[in-house]
A and B are shown apart, each in its own frame.
Chain A
Amino acid sequence: MKFKVFSCNHVRPNHVINTELFQTFVSGLSPDPEKNILTDVSGKNISDMQKFCELRQQYYIWQNEISQYDYVGFEHYRRLFNIDPLPIESLNAQYPALSIIRKKITADPFGYMVSVDEPEVYQQIMAMRRSMGEQEIQSTKDWIKSHDVIYTLPIFESVEENYKWCHPDGFYLWHELKNQISSTRSYSAVRNILEYNSDWSGYLNMYIMRSEIFIEYMDSIFPPLLDLEVKFPEAPSRIWGHLSERLLGNFIVQKLLDTPTLRCKAVPNLTFSRNACE
């Protein structure tokens, strides 16, 4: 089973990772001579479309690399999944700072995110990811394989209302998006977005998906967003990335409605302060 989580960056980060399971991906960067960093300046890409934020990396994988993978994941350079395959005894002994994180997550099953200010935690996560042995890699793959979609724990607020107060300057585009979707896709495929909306969403363009579901997701969000990009060139910055964050929850709801026993898992995200990941 082939699986990789891409750590999405817009500039070259200080911590670079390139292992079997994790890789740094910087959109718009010239190819890295050491080939540790994946870039999207070759192949089919939208690296110059800044308003798509992390969707640029997703677009590149979708268009160029997805056939290589059974599962793909995306996380932010400072918002990470807590993928932690070590038994507690080893974690305590080798990465005590991560042991504290695990305890926090276990103690609060609803914790949407764990805020981290300590650089030591980021360093230990990177060290753990780099030193994963065969057994840890296999445990991680087994865990991933047990799910179809892994996304971040949601915020319980109407998607539409949340978008309205978070991005008032771009709210008109939410309606435009709905119009665009309703004119291009069958009602049954998007009824959740058009009529119900969710009372929750993941919001972070951060997920791990089985490749077929990832392709379906990309197929569903990019055509309308690329059309809107052409139609509204003056749209606010980062707007398409913000809109897609709202579409992720709706997509998952639609999949769950259509697919009994789809295995979805919501997990907390580790959000690092900017200083902590430098």
Chain B
Amino acid sequence: MKLIIYSYLSKRRSILENLPTYNDLFSLFHPNQENRDNNVNSREGSKNWGEVSCQYHALQNSRQYDYIGFENAVRPIFIDFMLPERLLTEFNNIHGLREKFVRTWKVSHLSIPPRILKEYEAMRMACDPADAARFMRWLERTDVVVPQFENGSADRFRLMHLDNTWDLFSGIVRKIGIFQKIPEEYFASGFWPWYNSYIMRADLFERYADSAFTAFFEFSETFPNLNPYLIRFISEKLLGVYLSYCAYENALFRQASVPLLHVLDEDPPVSLPKDFDSEAYLGINVDVAIAGAQADGHYLGIGWREDRNWD
């Protein structure tokens, strides 16, 4: 079985420095450094698609895999596959995360400081063939792995992005590929996985992404003046629509849920991070823009604690 997980390398991740040298299983990805990704980058506005550009790259270039995964390098998917004895002695903090996840059950993310992210990355790098085999065995018994839903529906910040645009988008996507088969009510669902992070069986991914990207491009061209970051949020919701339909189409659809790791500093920042982009911050965090707040003041005040993005 062949698997690749793309870890999208945002500016935010790069400020943490000491990037891991990933192995065959996990692969760092940055669209600006990816030569073969011209199709996305040459399109107007697509540089703001963030993690979604990773998916397009995979659709075009990763047909040899059985499973394809996506995550943001600053919010990796939490899957631990080491035996507890080794985890306790070598990666004690990761063992702590396992305990927290197992006991709380429905948690959608685990907040960690940067040093624990590095420990998690080190654990991934240290996995031996038996660990990898255990992970593969776990994965091959699922059709899709997604971030766990927490409170059941999307937060207001996400909904604000979609309030005026989801109907426009669904008018386009419902005429394309697999989405033509999906009943209308599935497009009104309030449940969906966030952050464009998931691991999916390659055939299911291809069926989804082929139609999704046709719709994303058509939508961007039809409505060129909309928020350039919108596709990220539309993509999250569209994935939720697709997965709900997969479960409706086949009640034995196997969906596994895991939390994401959110990296938060332990102390409030004293200054803005290098590369902080005020325009992008307000574009992504529309609730902040609508409230008339300044990007830098908001980030230094509460934005950092809320894990707000600027890239």
Using a CB–CB cutoff of 8 Å, the interface residues on chain A facing chain B are 82, 84-88, 102-103, 105-110, 139-140, 142-143, 145-147, 154, 156, 192, 196, 198-200, 253, 256-258, 260-261, 263, 265
Contact = CB atoms under 8 A, between A and B. Distances in A.
A199 B247 CA distance: 27
A267 to B, nearest CB: 10
A106 B83 CA distance: 34
Contacts of A139: 252
Interface of B: 79-84, 87, 98-99, 102-106, 134-135, 137-138, 141-142, 149, 152, 185, 189, 191, 244, 247-252, 254, 256
24 contacts: A84-B251, A85-B251, A85-B252, A102-B248, A106-B247, A106-B248, A107-B189, A110-B152, A142-B252, A143-B252, A143-B254, A146-B141, A146-B142, A154-B105, A198-B105, A199-B103, A257-B98, A258-B84, A260-B81, A260-B87, A261-B134, A263-B138, A263-B141, A263-B142
Given A88-B249, A263-B138, A146 B105 contact: no
Contact of A261 (B87, B105, B137, B244): B137
A265 B82 CA distance: 21
A253 B102 contact: yes
Contacts of A192: 103
A254 B80 CA distance: 16
Nearest to A139: B252
A105 B244 CA distance: 10
Contact of A107 (B83, B87, B137, B244): B244
A193 to B, nearest CB: 12
B82 A260 contact: yes
B252 A140 contact: yes
A200 B251 contact: no
Contacts of B106: 156, 200
A108 B189 CA distance: 9
Nearest to A142: B252
Nearest to B254: A146
A140 B249 CA distance: 15
Contacts of A147: 141
Contacts of A263: 138, 141-142, 256
Contacts of A258: 84
B75 to A, nearest CB: 21
A260 B142 contact: no
Given A200-B106, A260-B83, A261-B135, 6 more contacts: A85-B252, A88-B249, A105-B247, A154-B105, A198-B103, A199-B103
B138 A261 contact: yes
Given A85-B251, A102-B248, A257 B141 contact: no
A102 B252 CA distance: 11
Contacts of B254: 143, 146, 265
Interface-central residue, B82, B105, B106, B191, by most chain A CB under 10 Å: B105
Contacts of A257: 84, 98-99, 102
Given A88-B250, A260-B81, A261-B135, A199 B189 contact: no
Given A85-B252, A107-B189, A199 B105 contact: yes
